[in-house]
Amino acid sequence: MKKVWIDTDPGVDDTFAIAMLFEAKDKVEVIGVSTIFGNVDVAQTTRNARILMEAAGKTDLPVARGASYPLVVPLDTSPFVHGANGMGDMPLPEPHMPEFALRAPQAIIDVILANPHEITLLPIGPLTNIAMAYLMEPKIAELVKEVVIMGGAVRCPGNITPAAEANFFHDPHAAQIVMSAGWPVVLAGLDVCSFGMVPQALLDKVCRADKALAPYIAGALPFFQDFLKTFGVYDRVDFPDALAAAYLLEPGIFTLEELPLFIEVEGSCMGQSLPVPTGKWYEDLKANRHYKADDAIAPAKVLFKVDTSAFLNLIEKLLA
């Protein structure tokens, strides 16, 4: 049984991933949730997370509010993708459960220290909370079980700039800190997403299912689908966060490769996740010159493919 802490910016794809984990009671125990800006601002993502916890009957779980802003760059959110309320502008109830007393970074630190070598962090939004937790208490890097991240675009174009995936772009400095912190990292980025498109027929089943979060998936989905139609995608939906959740549940259906990565924090390629196969960029590997970028090159296990049939079967089993 994996103990999982979710760091999230709900978000229809976040909702989809959270629903998968809640339904996989035999494999995953969600022990807490923290919120972050991303799809919308953190006040709204925190509200959405509380709504989802109440709908799922998980009011005993802590929902810890996270950072309002990135570490360095200006705040940038994506309401044009997920709606002004992050949930496709569907009508939302007022949540009643309180926020957790601690802010996200301290809550993350405390749960790792209390459960050494047992906690899997699942950040599926910008990485600000995770970076702040590490900066506040670096020894958590030795005590966490693994960090499974939805983010990055290693061998494919970005989805917010030609170079960058959105979660890394929204806080590239946090992404660089987290990726080079020395803990075990699995990266579920855009590279694997093309293999995990969910067809309309299965989406219809999920939206009609007698599951706690199905009404929120169904209510938020049309706005997201309208966004995808501008790119000629009409009969399927890409849920990046769902692939990160699926890796926790069925890691054997994925093809991965361990690579040294560098995260760019400035310029036109800000947020890029760049593979560095030799460990250095320059030709003379025996050179004694030290480049600042060398300090941020670190290994990660990158998901590149998934068995599509197995992934869709997993979704149907859990949510349909």
Expressed as residue numbers, the domain containing 191 is 2-319
Q: What is the CATH number of the domain that holds 47?
A: 3.90.245.10
Residues 6-11, mean pLDDT to the nearest whole number: 97
In the predicted structure, residue 287 carries a pLDDT above the cut 80: no
In the predicted structure, residue 284 carries a pLDDT above the cut 70: no
In the predicted structure, residue 295 carries a pLDDT above the cut 90: no
Residue 83 — left, alpha, or beta (φ > 0 → left; ψ -120 to 50 → alpha)? Answer: left
**In which band, very low, low, confident or very high, does the pLDDT at 280 lie, cut at 50, 70 and 90?**
low
Is 13 in contact with 241 (CB distance < 8 Å)? yes
C-alpha to C-alpha distances, 279 to 147, 261, 270, 272, 283, nearest whole angstrom: 22, 8, 20, 16, 11
In the predicted structure, residue 75 carries a pLDDT above the cut 90: yes
pLDDT of 44: 98
Read off the pLDDT of residues 231-251 as tens digits, 9 standing for 90 and up. Answer: 888 889 999 999 999 999 999
pLDDT of 282: 59
Number of domains in the chain: 1
**In which band, very low, low, confident or very high, does the pLDDT at 96 lie, cut at 50, 70 and 90?**
very high
Residues 13-42, mean pLDDT to the nearest whole number: 97
Residues 82-89, mean pLDDT to the nearest whole number: 97
C-alpha to C-alpha distances, 218 to 88, 181, 214, 225, 319, nearest whole angstrom: 10, 38, 6, 11, 12
Average pLDDT along the chain = 95
Residues 215-241, mean pLDDT to the nearest whole number: 93
Residues 76-87, mean pLDDT to the nearest whole number: 95
pLDDT of 131: 98
Read off the pLDDT of residues 104-151 as tens digits, 9 standing for 90 and up. Answer: 999 999 999 999 999 999 999 999 999 999 999 999 999 999 999 999
pLDDT of 39: 96
pLDDT of 277: 78
pLDDT of 281: 58
pLDDT of 285: 64
**In which band, very low, low, confident or very high, does the pLDDT at 283 lie, cut at 50, 70 and 90?**
low
Read off the pLDDT of residues 159-182 as tens digits, 9 standing for 90 and up. Answer: 999 999 999 999 999 999 999 999
